[in-house]
Amino acid sequence: MNTIEEYVDQIIIEKGFDTEAPEVIAQLKEDIAEHIENRINAMIITSIPEDKLSEFEALLDGDDQEKIQTYIRKEIPDIDEKVAIELAQFKATYLA
C-alpha cells in the first residue's frame, strides 16, 4: 500500500462495502481515513520523548510538512514499523 487512501479502499472492499452507493462509500472513506489518521497521530505524540514535545508542537504550528516529517523520522526511528502496526490493528478491529 502506498497511501492511506489505497489502504482505506482495500478495507472497504474487504468489509464488503464497495457495493454501497457512491455517497455512502465517500462518507465511509472519509470516516475511516479520519480514524486512521487519529490513531497514527496519537501514536506519534506518545512516541516522541516528553522533553521534545514542545519543540514538536512548535514545528506543527509552523505547518512545514517536510520539517515535521524529518523531525518525526529523527525522533521516532522506527516510525514505519509503528505506523504499520497501527494500520494492522485498525484493520483487524474494523473488519472483526
Q: What is the pLDDT of residues 45-54, one digit of tens each?
A: 999 999 999 9
Q: What is the mean pLDDT of residues 9-29?
A: 94
Closest CA to 86 of 42, 45, 56, 53: 42
pLDDT at 72 over 90: yes
Radius of gyration of the chain (CA): 15
Cell of 9: 479502499
Please say whether the beta carbons of 4 and 83 come within 8 A. no
pLDDT at position 35 is 96
Q: What is the mean pLDDT of residues 61-80?
A: 94
Task: Please give the Cα distance from 46 to 44 (Å, whole number).
Answer: 5
pLDDT at 17 over 90: yes
